[in-house]
Structure 1
Amino acid sequence: MSEAPEFQTALDVYKSIIDEFVNQTRRYGSSSHVAESGIFSNAPANGKFNEFIGTLSPTQRELLAEMLQEERDGAIHDLLAALSGWIDCEGVGLTWQGKEMPVDLSGMGLHGDFVGRRDGWEWPSPDKGDEA
């Protein structure tokens, strides 16, 4: 996480968490290395992946990079979907400074909020009295 922002509400914290997931899935990971540098990783154990990528054309590397990004997004989605299930069905909750954190602002679970934000969805404006 970058420099810690000042949070005013549990809602602010929740939004920040989801937005960080969106930003981190784009900033880190191997897809940009594959597309731009033609490598998966500089780690010695990944040499076989780099050899394979080296045989691909730039267009094929772009396609592989897109596939890797889709997988990365899918992993975050699936994790958040599982957490949504725990929240909805098993009584699990998220709190900030002892206050319940509102989740599921899209109406489609934490994973829906993640996908929405990833795709450019704007956070809904809170109704007065709804901020936690």
Structure 2
Amino acid sequence: MRIEILKNLTEHQTKEIDVLWNEVYPIKLKNRFGLLLNGIKEYQHHVLLNESEEVIGWAVAYLRNDEIWFSIIISTANQNKGYGKMLIESLKQNFSNLCGWVIDHNNDLKQDGSTYCTPKQFYQKNGFIITKERIESDILSAVKITFEA
């Protein structure tokens, strides 16, 4: 496994991450990967590749409203193997402060019909603080998390 840090993704990587996005996140967020960086000028991709050069995980850090925000995905087959921690550590090596939204409930379904389980504890184990700030919309109910080195 290796992490490649990139400014831009290849077309193939973009397609692989789009598939991961739809596989891992709740169905309400389906096909929204392409919208994540709309209007964002400063960002950095961290792509986790296996020995066959397939994308099995991805994270992005981007500047929005004077804060560095991030998003992360690990393929379902590769979760709970330490790869998420690898990507988080890669982000932390490049950014001293990070913000993100984490779904903090188990009420959403994924496209395969299974329950989307909150990764809140994962982030807490990796040094993130759960704030009181929330986002509530038709497609997302989440709490803001932050990390400061």
> Is the structural similarity TM-score above 0.5?
no
Q: TM-score, normalised by structure 1?
A: 0.26
User: Highest CA radius of gyration, 1 or 2?
Assistant: 1
Of structures 1 and 2, the one scoring higher in RCO (CA 8 A, sep 6+) is 1
TM superposition score normalised by structure 2: 0.24
